[in-house]
Amino acid sequence: MTQEKTHPSIQLPNQIDSTPLISKIPNELPKYLRILFRSIKYMEAGLIFQVQMDAELLGHPHILCISQEDIIRFGLMEKVGVPCISFYIRVLYSELANKDINHFIGFLEPSFSSNVGAIEVERARLISIRLDKSIQGQFWLLPYHLRYHWTLIIIDKDHQICYFLDALGNPPPEDLKLLMSMVFDKNGGAKWRTIECPRQSSTAKCGFYVLKMMKDFVTNVAPIRWLNFHCSEKNPYTLEEINEVRDEWAFNLIEWMP
């Protein structure tokens, strides 16, 4: 099934702001990020991009709000916020849907694991509801945010395996293991596999590595083989590889502008 495109609504400013939001656009920005920066440079402060997220993307229909600050910090490689991760999930889902293979991959809401102060039992319940819609052979991707650091969990519900990918090489944190043990509590708990994955360099942030690893997994014809045998071959990702993902993100946001 090919996903029908619906443009996001944008809260347009009453006038162009004479003071640019970005004092200088960096020369090293890739093509579409540069175009995006030029588009928002003189927009009035507080502009919000509102993108419709259909139920099949993350399990519930909602409006995704992407702020100017989200875009600027993403473009300057300062931070990848939850809205930026969620929008890239939309990009990947559309790519899978166009190939009619979107039923093999599911995505979990990044905020399931990122809400500060959220009740653990409630987070586990929300994840369980989403996983209950699995079909045989389906994998689920959960970007996980802990103490200012993004990691990726790939869930094989059929075998109750959680593959953990951390660009800093850390093992799964205890609060994550507790969360997933509650998700699989009725079936004996989760089994963990820590995957040797590309190690982030000092010049790239963890969020961009998560975006790139998600892309590599969902576009591979043999994703589990890639995960077990080839994921660690890129160590680290090159800046060009990270920029490909960043520019894809920017291109799609531009495409969705009215």
Spans of all domains in the chain: 47-255
What pLDDT shows up at residue 107?
96
80 token code pair: 């990848």
Structural contact between residues 1 and 102, judged by C-beta atoms closer than 8 angstroms: yes
Structural contact between residues 210 and 152, judged by C-beta atoms closer than 8 angstroms: yes
| pTM listed for this prediction | 0.87
What pLDDT shows up at residue 120?
77
DSSP element (H, E) containing 165: strand 161-165
Domain range 47-255, CATH class: alpha beta
Residues 6+ apart with CB under 8 A from 67: 47, 48, 49, 83
DSSP secondary structure, 7-19, as one string: PPEE---SS--SS
Residues 6+ apart with CB under 8 A from 83: 64, 65, 66, 67, 70
What tens digit of pLDDT does each residue of 134-169 get?
A: 899 999 999 998 878 999 999 999 999 999 999 999
Cα 125 to Cα 169: distance, rounded to the nearest angstrom: 28
Cα 172 to Cα 163: distance, rounded to the nearest angstrom: 9
Please say if the pLDDT value at position 9 is more than 50: no
What tens digit of pLDDT does each residue of 37-80 get?
A: 988 877 777 788 899 999 999 988 999 999 999 999 999 999 99
Q: How confident is the model at residue 81 (pLDDT cuts 50, 70, 90)?
A: very high
Bond prior to 172 in cis (omega within 30° of 0): no
Cα separation values, 1 from 8, 50, 100, 171, 215, Å: 21, 24, 6, 37, 20
Cα 132 to Cα 202: distance, rounded to the nearest angstrom: 39
Cα 185 to Cα 121: distance, rounded to the nearest angstrom: 11
Mean pLDDT over the full length of the chain: 85
Structural contact between residues 57 and 107, judged by C-beta atoms closer than 8 angstroms: yes
Lowest mean pLDDT among 77-81, 104-108, 233-237, 245-249: 233-237
Q: How confident is the model at residue 12 (pLDDT cuts 50, 70, 90)?
A: very low
